[in-house]
């Protein structure tokens, strides 16, 4: 018992819970020398492998673990959830959580809880002793309560998470960042353990999950970063040992992860698979707009003159159009004249304004704008008692861009001014995919169906025929993206779509009277869902391996007041298949692992309790919250939980 406890006379038992996000039990069991402290905790207390929840996603797992109830009660199913009666989606945070957290029950008994770095707890609660929110929270200035707690965290430069983007770029730099994040968590955890003013301490190490995503295959396959992986986990174990040693005698230590981990073989885009099986379609006929001018710019064939500012008279002669020219705009007195002006400008671009050997300055049209003004009718003296007669006048102006280089775009044709530019453009266009142009590594959809090259007057005209998935554009805006997606989100699905997916492995029927543009009548729901469930169960990977370990219905997985946003089916994948659900492009459903080489698993999560009498059999995340309450001798109704106490 700590000194502060003795002074205040408290004698209620206490609990310190430490989360090690995504750490599989087999990692500990197979490496006892690297995990001396966790092994000792398990040997002297109790421990083993436990199940996660459906779906095994951290944003759903931690609400379930900390409340003891399923997503149908918590209202949180993943990192992206769907609004009721809408295709709008949102990232769920604390205010979307609908159940009761274990620390709220502790607070309700007049006892204190310190909560640090738990997912989906932003904004931090103000009715607990202290809290700093976890992953997906903004900076610590908005994510910590009370002020003195925030001030302490700022004094140690508290970071909200490991920089996962480094894992795609430089794994050594990523591991350095993961170590720094881990060190900082340990510093803060020990600081408040030593404060010894809490009844429940609840802190989560999230860097473990980040490291697993980028290095787990290295560990399992003896890869390049296996040593770095084990060194990191040696430090994790050392820190668990330090925390255990720092705890007062009246505190029971619990260490747990929210899901297991395994090596990643393929990312599986379920929406791409649903599209292949004719369950999903999109409102737009094409998947991409390939902006050729932006592509030439990125390929180094075109530069944009940042200082150019030209007027419409550089393109057309107002006198030839029988129009006035005023303040940089063509002035049209009728709708027909307005249309004539707009068509003339569009027909005049692009135009070469200067050319020498191998290079040209070209004016390209960025935008045409029409300013409609009400003016006095011609011949009106304005002296009538009831006011002047008026008419509409149209001022047509343009935004022009000057492009300088060895190539430019003219109505779907790339005009190359040199042989070397021609050869490079042809080679690149023939190989053009979202992956090859650096937009989306997994997407290898061809953007160009064919090219027709003709020489005329010393220049080379490369006519581009896009694939059926692609539309061509020539937006000269220097900020224009090379590739624009015509569908990027759930609301872009077509009216005839039968089903769609949200990450991870959550599948929804596009049901009439539930979805805004539902296509499946209610009386066909069960038949459609049963057929789709069977196809998902039979889905095979590139080498014929079954993708799904199990496919469960919403009735089997979820119950509660918030089951109205539950998926109709959830696919729990076999090891090696990581389920994704983006809406962009027309990619292959199966993409081999890249920098990210580890994935979550439903099985093989970790639980260790510093209590030799704890039951570790047939356990899942739902059992942890009632176990904490029993260890703290806080009364509760058994029916309030989906799990049961292990002590």
pLDDT confidence of residue 516: 96
Find all residues with CB under 8 Å of 443, minimum gap 6, and list them. Answer: 433, 434, 435, 584, 585, 586, 587, 588
Over range 234-244, report the average pLDDT. 98
623 and 523 together in one domain: no
Within a domain: 474: no
Alpha-carbon distances, residue 301 vs 34, 402, 411, 526 (angstroms): 55, 14, 17, 56
Q: Span 56-81, mean pLDDT? A: 97
Shared-domain flag, residues 605 and 581 = no
Predicted confidence (pLDDT) at residue 378 exceeds the cutoff of 70: no
Q: Mean pLDDT, the chain, as a whole number?
A: 94
For residue 446, tell me if it sits in a domain.
no
Contact present, 289 and 325 (Cβ < 8 Å): no
Residue 2 pLDDT > 50? no
Least-confidence region, from 95-109, 384-398, 582-596, 605-619: 384-398
Domain co-membership, 70 together with 145: yes
Domain of residue 619, CATH code: 3.40.720.10
Bond from prior residue into 89 cis (ω within 30 degrees of 0) = no
Predicted confidence at residue 241, as pLDDT, reads 98
273 in a structural domain: yes
Q: What is the pLDDT of residues 440-475, one digit of tens each?
A: 877 889 999 999 999 988 899 999 999 999 999 999
DSSP-assigned letters across all residues of 415-482? EESSHHHHHHHHHHHHT--TTTTTS-TT-----EEEEEEEEETTEEEEEEEE-TTEEEE----TT--S
Question: Domain total for the chain?
Answer: 3
What is the pLDDT, as a whole number, of residue 208?
A: 98
In the listed set 552, 572, 590, which residue is the last one of a domain according to the structure? Answer: 590
pLDDT tens-digit map of 516-560: 999 999 999 999 999 999 999 999 999 999 999 999 999 999 999
pLDDT in tens, 517-528: 999 999 999 999
Confirm whether 353 is domain-assigned: yes
Single residue among 380, 405, 430 that ends a domain in this structure: 405
Classify residue 251: in a domain, yes or no. yes
Contact 458, 356 (CB under 8 A): no
Which pLDDT tens digit goes with each residue over 381-438? Answer: 555 455 568 889 999 999 999 999 999 999 899 999 999 999 999 999 999 999 999 8
Residues 33 and 162 in one domain: yes
In a domain, 445, yes or no: no
Range of the domain at 557: 268-280+495-590
> Is it the case that residue 127 has pLDDT exceeding 70?
yes
Does any domain span residue 483? Answer: no
Residues 87 and 105 in one domain: yes
Q: Are residues 49 and 191 in the same domain?
A: yes
Residue 165: pLDDT band (50, 70, 90) is: very high
Instruction: Yes or no: say if 67 and 100 are a contact pair by the CB < 8 Å rule.
Output: yes
Share of the chain above pLDDT 70, in %: 97
- Are residues 381 and 527 both part of a single domain? no
pLDDT, residue 247, reads: 97
203 shares a domain with 98: yes
Is there a single domain that holds both residue 568 and residue 607? Answer: no
Residue 4: the pLDDT is: 44
Question: In the prediction, which pLDDT does 456 show?
Answer: 86
Q: By the 8 A CB rule, do 147 and 126 touch? A: no
Q: What is the pLDDT of residue 6?
A: 35
Least confidently predicted of 230-244, 313-327, 385-399, 570-584: 385-399
Q: Is residue 7 scored above 60 in pLDDT?
A: no
Q: How far apart are CA 130 and CA 144, in angstroms?
A: 8
Three-state SS annotation for 503-561 = CCCEEEECECCCCCCCCECHHHHHHHHHHHHHHHHCCECCCCCECEEEEEEHHHHCCCC
473 assigned to some structural domain: no
| Pair (239, 388) in one structural domain | no
Rounded to a whole number of angstroms, the CA Rg of the chain reads 31
Asked if 77 and 209 sit in the same domain, the reply is: yes
Q: Are residues 214 and 321 in the same domain?
A: no
Helix (H) or strand (E) holding 215, with range, is helix 207-220
Highest mean pLDDT of the ranges 212-216, 327-331, 456-460 = 212-216
What is the domain-level CATH number for residue 512? 3.30.1360
């Amino acid at each position: 018992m700590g000194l502060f406890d003795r002074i205040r006379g408290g004698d209620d038992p206490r609990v310190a819970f430490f989360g090690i996000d995504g750490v599989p039990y087999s990692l500990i069991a197979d490496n006892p020398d690297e995990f001396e402290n966790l092994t000792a905790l398990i040997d002297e207390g109790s421990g083993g492998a436990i199940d996660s929840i459906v779906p095994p996603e951290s944003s759903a797992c931690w609400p379930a673990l900390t409340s003891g109830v399923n997503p149908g009660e918590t209202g949180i199913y993943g990192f992206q959830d769907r609004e009721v009666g809408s295709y709008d989606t949102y990232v769920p945070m604390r205010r979307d959580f609908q159940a009761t957290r274990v620390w709220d029950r502790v607070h309700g008994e007049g006892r204190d809880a310190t909560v640090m770095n738990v997912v989906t707890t932003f904004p931090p609660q103000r009715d607990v002793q202290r809290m700093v929110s976890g992953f997906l929270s903004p900076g610590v200035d908005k994510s910590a309560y009370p002020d003195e707690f925030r001030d302490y965290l700022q004094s140690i430069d508290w970071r909200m998470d490991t920089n996962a983007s480094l894992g795609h770029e430089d794994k050594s730099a990523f591991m350095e960042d993961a170590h720094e994040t881990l060190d900082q968590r340990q510093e803060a955890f020990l600081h408040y353990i030593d404060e010894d003013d809490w009844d429940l301490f609840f802190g989560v190490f999230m860097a473990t999950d980040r490291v697993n995503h980028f290095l787990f295959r290295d560990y399992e396959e003896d890869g390049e970063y296996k040593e770095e992986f084990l060194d990191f986990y040696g430090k994790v174990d050392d820190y668990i040992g330090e925390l255990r040693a720092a705890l007062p005698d009246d505190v029971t230590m619990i260490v747990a992860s929210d899901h297991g981990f395994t090596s990643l073989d393929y990312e599986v885009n379920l929406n791409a698979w649903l599209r292949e099986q004719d369950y999903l379609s999109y409102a737009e006929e094409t998947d991409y707009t390939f902006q050729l001018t932006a592509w030439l710019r990125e390929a180094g064939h075109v530069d944009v003159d940042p200082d150019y500012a030209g007027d419409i008279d550089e393109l057309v002669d107002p006198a030839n159009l029988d129009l006035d020219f005023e303040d940089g705009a063509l002035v049209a007195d009728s709708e027909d004249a307005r249309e004539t002006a707009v068509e003339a400008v569009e027909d005049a671009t692009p135009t070469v304004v200067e050319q020498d050997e191998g290079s040209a300055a070209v004016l390209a049209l960025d935008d045409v704008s029409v300013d409609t003004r009400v003016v006095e009718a011609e011949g009106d003296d304005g002296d009538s008692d009831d006011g002047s007669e008026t008419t509409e006048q149209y001022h047509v102006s343009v935004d022009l861009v000057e492009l300088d280089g060895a190539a430019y775009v003219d109505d779907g044709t790339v005009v190359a001014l040199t042989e070397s530019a021609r050869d490079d453009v042809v080679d690149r266009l023939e190989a053009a995919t979202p992956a090859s142009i650096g937009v989306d590594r997994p997407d290898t959809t061809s953007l160009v169906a064919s090219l027709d090259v003709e020489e005329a007057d010393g220049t080379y005209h490369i006519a581009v025929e896009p694939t059926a998935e692609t539309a061509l554009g020539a937006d000269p805006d220097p900020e224009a993206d090379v590739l624009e997606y015509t569908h990027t989100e759930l609301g872009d699905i077509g009216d005839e779509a039968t089903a769609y997916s949200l990450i991870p492995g959550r599948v929804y029927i596009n049901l009439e009277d539930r979805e805004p543009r539902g296509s499946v009548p209610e009386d066909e729901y069960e038949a459609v869902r049963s057929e789709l469930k069977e196809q998902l169960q039979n889905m095979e990977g590139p080498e014929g391996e079954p993708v799904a370990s199990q496919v469960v219905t919403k009735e089997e997985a979820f119950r509660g007041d918030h089951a109205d946003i539950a998926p109709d089916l959830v696919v729990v994948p076999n090891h090696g298949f990581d389920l994704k659900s983006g809406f962009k492009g027309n990619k292959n459903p199966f993409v081999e692992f890249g920098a990210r080489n580890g994935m979550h698993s439903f099985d093989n999560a970790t639980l260790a309790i510093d209590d030799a009498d704890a039951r570790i059999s047939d356990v899942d995340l739902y059992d942890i919250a009632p176990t904490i309450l029993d260890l703290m001798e806080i009364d509760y109704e058994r029916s309030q939980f989906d799990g049961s106490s292990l002590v």
